[in-house]
Amino acid sequence: MLARLSSTSGGEPGIAEVCALSLELAGVTGVGLMLMPGNAPRASLGVTDERSALIEDLQYTLGEGPCIDAHRQDRPVLEPDLAHPVVARWPAFTPPAVEAGVRAVFGFPLRIGAVRLGAINLYRDEPGPLSDDQHANTLVLAGIATNTVVAAQSHAPSGELASELEASTNLHLVVHQASGMVSVQLGIDVGEALVRLRGHAFGHGRLVRDVARDVVERRLRFNTSGEDAGR
Boundary of a domain, candidates 166, 197, 215: 166
Identify whether residues 181 and 225 lie together within a single domain.
yes
Q: Which domain holds residue 205?
A: 173-230
Boundary of a domain, candidates 166, 185, 204: 166
Question: Considering the entire predicted model, what is its pTM?
Answer: 0.77
Buried b (16+ CB within 10 A) or exposed e, 39-70: eebbbbbbbbeebbbbbbbbbbbbbbbbbbbb
Q: Structural domain tally of the chain? A: 2
Identify whether residues 41 and 88 lie together within a single domain.
yes
Q: What CATH number does residue 222 fall under?
A: 1.10.10
pLDDT tens string, the chain, 231 residues long: the values are 878 777 765 666 678 888 889 999 999 999 999 888 666 556 677 788 889 988 988 888 788 999 999 999 999 999 999 999 998 999 989 999 999 999 999 999 999 888 888 999 999 999 999 999 999 999 999 999 898 888 877 777 777 767 666 655 655 678 878 888 999 999 998 878 888 888 888 788 887 888 888 999 999 999 876 556 554
Identify whether residues 178 and 125 lie together within a single domain.
no
Identify whether residues 151 and 196 lie together within a single domain.
no
Identify whether residues 93 and 205 lie together within a single domain.
no
Instruction: Give the list of residues 6+ apart from residue 9 with CB closer than 8 angstroms, or none.
Output: 17
